[in-house]
Every structure is written in structure tokens, then in C-alpha cells.
Amino acid sequence: MFKIVRREEMTGGTVILNEIEAPLIAKKARPGQFVILKANEDGERIPLTMADTDSEKGTITIIYMVVGKSTALFKELQVGDAYQDVIGPLGKATHLEKVGKVICVGGGTGVAVLHPITRGLKEVGNDVTCIIGARNKDLLILEDEMRKASNDLRICTDDGSYGHHGFVTQVMQEILKAGDVKLVVAIGPVPMMKAVSKITKDFNVPTMVSLNPIMVDGTGMCGGCRVTIGGETKFACVDGPEFDGHQVDYDELIMRLQAYQEEERECHKKFCTIRDAK
């Protein structure tokens, strides 16, 4: 069992942070890798990229949005409760090297995934500008952590309630125009990563994205996480989750995610009806 030692409700309780005892995973985990969690015997297996690790304390930190049956089960777990299963670290770690000027772009809960990568890029000597965005100020997460992890933090909100009034892509484009950017890392909603990749391709700047397709076993056996990269089928769990953003078939990825999300919403409705009837 994997006990929760710290819990924090963010953005009005729709996004939850859990720090979990998992000493073996914490010892081996690297930026960009993920774990698969299961709340209990009745729960589903959910892949989540680690937002942080502490090898000395033996803990890993995950951040998730409550959107369906399984994440609703996760939300019921409190400090002292435990996940039945936590498997990892899985996936390929981020390749970290000094390249010069780097832009890290994060949206929504993708900021949690971006955090250890941004910190790692800064630690190896890069000049890292981080741009994070949300629909409004109340939905921003990890602002202080991202400020520490980067050399320069820019904040965007769709409604203008905090920072730049507009999208992260607008701020990124202005930085790209100034020149000398060697790498862009974008993690967040698929439409955002698609837009970032389209812009950076025009500037001929290498771009890395972290994909979140449907995933079951996390070892490449089920094929559920397949994505098309440069015309070839890849599996996000073993070949990724990070890929060249200019090679991703985003339209196919969006179509597959939408099909799953519709099914997940129906399951969540049924779960809530049964729970409330008890």
C-alpha cells in the first residue's frame, strides 16, 4: 500500500495534489516519467506523470484533475489513506542537456508535468523562460514552484485576470521573434501543444511535447496508447511519453481522446448517482 502523506486541494477542489510514500519509485524516477495508480480493487489504472520526487523522504507527488469515476475515487482518499497500487517509474525520462535558451510552455494540469522538466533544464545550465497559462487566475497551479524552477516566469490568463491577457502561444511567439531559442517544451491540452508546435515549426525550433493518450498497462502490451509520430505508430508508454512535436498526428490523438472522454463522463455520472443514493 502507498500512503498519502500530504494532500492539497487546488483551484477550488477540482485539482488535487497528493504526496505519496513510494521510496523505491522516488529513488529511481527521473523528470518526464510517470506512474500508474489504482485507488482500490474497484478502481481503474490511471497514468499520471510525477510533478515532483523526493528520494530522501521516499515520496512522489502527483497532481490530477477530477474529471471522471477514477479521479473521483482518488479525491476521496485523505492523508493517511493509501493507494492500492502505484507502479513505476514508467516511460522514458526527459533528455536533459545544455543547449542555451529554452522556452517551457505549460497549460492547465500540464504545468505539473512541466515542473520537474523545467527544473532539470535549468539545473544543467540552460536559460529557461517558462510560460504558464490558465483560463483565469484561480485555475493557475504551481506558480511559486515554477518561478523557482525557471530563470524567467511569464503568466497568461484567457480572461486577463492575472498576467498577460491572452494565450501562452502569443507570449511564446514574441520570444521566438527575438531569436536564439534552441528548444521549446510544451505540455498541456492537446490543442495547445498542437498550436505551439505549428508556430515553432515556422521558426524552425525543435519542440518536445508530452502526450497523454489512453493507457492501460503502461508496458506496451495493450496498444491502447498508440500515437502516430512521423507516419509511424508509437506507444506513448514505452516510446514516450515525450515526442517531437512537429511529427505528432494531433488530429488522430484528439479524436481518440474525445471518444474515451465521452465514455468516462457517462461512467462518472453513474458513479455519482450510485454514491449519492447510499
| DSSP string for residues in 209-241 | EE-----SSSSSSS-TTEEEETTEEEEHHHH-S
Neighbours of 83 (CB within 10 A): 24
pTM for the whole structure: 0.88
Closest C-alpha to 49, from 92, 13, 9, 6: 92
User: For residue 80, what is the DSSP state?
Assistant: T
According to the model, what pLDDT value does residue 268 have? 45
Tell me if 177 sits within 8 A of 194, measured CB to CB: no
According to the model, what pLDDT value does residue 222 have? 83
- Which CATH number among 3.40.50.300, 3.30.1660.40, 2.40.30.10, 3.40.50.20 corresponds to the domain 2-90? 2.40.30.10
According to the model, what pLDDT value does residue 219 have? 80
Given a cut of 60, whether residue 76 has pLDDT beyond it is yes
Tell me if 229 sits within 8 A of 247, measured CB to CB: yes
Work out the angle at residue 178's Cα, subtended by the Cα atoms of residues 176 and 179, and round it to the nearest 5 degrees: 70
According to the model, what pLDDT value does residue 261 have? 57
Given a cut of 90, whether residue 257 has pLDDT beyond it is no
According to the model, what pLDDT value does residue 220 have? 82
Average pLDDT score over residue span 188-203 = 96
| DSSP string for residues in 146-211 | HHHHSSEEEEEETTSSSSEES-HHHHHHHHHHH--EEEEEEESSHHHHHHHHHHHHHTT--EEEE-
Q: How far is CA 150 from CA 51, 153, 186, 241, in A?
A: 15, 6, 14, 22
According to the model, what pLDDT value does residue 275 have? 46
Summarised one tens digit per residue, pLDDT across range 27-56 is 999 999 999 999 988 888 889 999 999 999
According to the model, what pLDDT value does residue 70 have? 83
CA distance 218 to 237: 5
Summarised one tens digit per residue, pLDDT across range 138-171 is 999 999 999 999 999 999 999 999 999 999 999 9
CA distance 30 to 50: 9
Q: Are strands 152-157 and 101-107 parallel, antiparallel or unpaired?
A: unpaired
According to the model, what pLDDT value does residue 259 have? 65
Tell me if 192 sits within 8 A of 186, measured CB to CB: yes
| DSSP string for residues in 25-69 | HHHH--TT-EEEEE-STTSPPEEEE-SEEETTTTEEEEEEE--SH
CA distance 105 to 85: 31
CA distance 234 to 236: 6
CA distance 238 to 236: 6
What percent of the chain has pLDDT above 90? 77
Given a cut of 50, whether residue 271 has pLDDT beyond it is no
H or E segment and range at residue 75: helix 69-76
Closest C-alpha to 69, from 38, 37, 43, 40: 43
According to the model, what pLDDT value does residue 92 have? 95
Considering the segment(s) 100-195 as one domain, its CATH architecture is 3-Layer(aba) Sandwich (3.40)
Average per-residue pLDDT in the chain?
Answer: 90
Domain ranges of the chain: 2-90, 100-195, 211-278
Q: Are strands 164-165 and 181-187 parallel, antiparallel or unpaired?
A: unpaired
Whether 2-90 shares its CATH topology with 100-195 is answered no
